[in-house]
Amino acid sequence: MGIGPRDVKRVVLTHLHMDHDAGLVHFPHSQILAAPSEIDTASGFMGMLRGYLPQRWPDWFNPIRLELDDGPFGQFAASKRLTKAGDVVAIATPGHTAGHLSVLVEDGDATLFLAGDTSYNQALMLAGKVDGVGPDTKIAAATLRAVRHLAEQQPTIYLPTHDPESAVRLATRQLVTAPVELGAAA
């Protein structure tokens, strides 16, 4: 795409599991943002006991604590505008981890929902099935409900990191409400 690491002013981490932060080494010149509770949970010896790998972080890693203090966003309890225009917003999506966040990008006629590990894939989100090991399944289920609610309110392209279909949905601008997706969840 012609974008180099130095062109990336900010990197927003959805959470600090290794498969989401191991690429940090490529961005020594960028601002790195993560939720304060996620940083605290992942750091130090206790972080290691919790399954994080803080010992693998680059020496220079000193993330900016991204306080989600702009109030609720739809059914999401907390949010923070990341641009003056408000077209990029970080929202709290707790469940997979307590400090997990997602990023919404207004992109023309649709909202891109950069979901990290909010759910493994779109079908599980639509079905409201909490996957994997999370600290609190009720909170995770509430987050999935909030995602569905948002998608009902505005055209949304849902993009979980590990969903093999995310890249295709992005390329084809496939909305959450597209009939084929609803059928897949039934």
Residues that bind Zn ion (CB under 5 A): 17, 117
Q: Considering the complex, what minimum distance in angstroms separates the CB of residue 172 from Zn ion?
A: 26
Quick one: 79 or 119, whose CB is closer to Zn ion? Answer: 119
Query: Residue 88 carries which side chain, given as an amino acid letter?
Result: V
Quick one: 17 or 148, whose CB is closer to Zn ion? Answer: 17
Cα angle: 122, vertex 123, 126; to 5 degrees: 85
Q: Considering the complex, what minimum distance in angstroms separates the CB of residue 75 from Zn ion?
A: 22
Q: Considering the complex, what minimum distance in angstroms separates the CB of residue 116 from Zn ion?
A: 7
Quick one: 160 or 175, whose CB is closer to Zn ion? Answer: 160
| Distance (Å, whole) CA 27 – CA 4 | 10
Query: Residue 137 carries which side chain, given as an amino acid letter?
Result: T
What are phi and psi for residue 100, nearest 5 degrees? -60, 140
| Distance (Å, whole) CA 43 – CA 169 | 34
Quick one: 38 or 117, whose CB is closer to Zn ion? Answer: 117
Q: Considering the complex, what minimum distance in angstroms separates the CB of residue 20 from Zn ion?
A: 6
Q: Closest residue (Cβ) to Zn ion? A: 17
Q: Considering the complex, what minimum distance in angstroms separates the CB of residue 25 from Zn ion?
A: 18
Give the three-class secondary structure for 144.
helix
> For strand 64-65 and strand 31-34, is the pairing parallel, antiparallel, or unpaired?
parallel
DSSP code at position 158: E
Class of residue 154 by CB neighbours under 10 A (exposed 0-12, middle 13-18, buried 19+): middle
Quick one: 93 or 111, whose CB is closer to Zn ion? Answer: 93
